[in-house]
Amino acid sequence: MEKASQYAPLDAPGAGVNAASSQPKKVAYFYDSDVGNYAYNAGHPMKPHRIRMAHSLIMNYGLYKKLEIYRAKPASKYEMTQFHTDEYVDFLQRVTPDNMDNFGKEQGKYNVGDDCPVFDGLFEFCGISAGGSMEGAARLNRNKCDVAVNWAGGLHHAKKSEASGFCYINGQFAPCTSRDPTAS
């Protein structure tokens, strides 16, 4: 067995990824104050109000001074259908807690139920989540920032025509869409 001392050290202090940057990173932070108004269902582990709590900490600890803060335009139905099927996005736009009994067949088809429940403002929540991710990706792709943060994003389990793992719209499609980062 070879001794560990025979290998070159991984990034030593002050070198490689641990090197001090000559310029601070430009961080684009996306936050929509409406996101905390949505709730999946009582007892559901996904709690969008936690995004509002994280934002409060960022503001109260002064971290905002190191960020460029944006309120992204919510993703449109058209933008969502660049990855998801038209029928699935149309369902998300039309279904509400008041009319969900009329969509029993579709709920099964699109995997909307326990993990991914119907709640008030579902489509609007999806737009906020995907919009921040899209604008973050656009800014990164156009070198307008070094880091993009969207606490409402990262919902990547949704499939082309199906909700999954608390996710309805897949935020990973964001880099595949075209959005002008100067619009925010």
- For residue 59, CA distances in Å to 54, 71, 112, 149 come to 9, 15, 35, 15
- Residues 91, 106: contact at Cβ < 8 Å? yes
Burial 67-80 (b: 16+ CB within 10 A, else e): beebebbbbeeebb
Element (H, E) at 148: strand 147-150
Distance CA 148, CA 137 (A): 7
Report the catalytic residues.
157
The Cα 67–Cα 145 span in angstroms is 10
In the chain, the N- to C-terminal Cα span, in Å, equals: 57
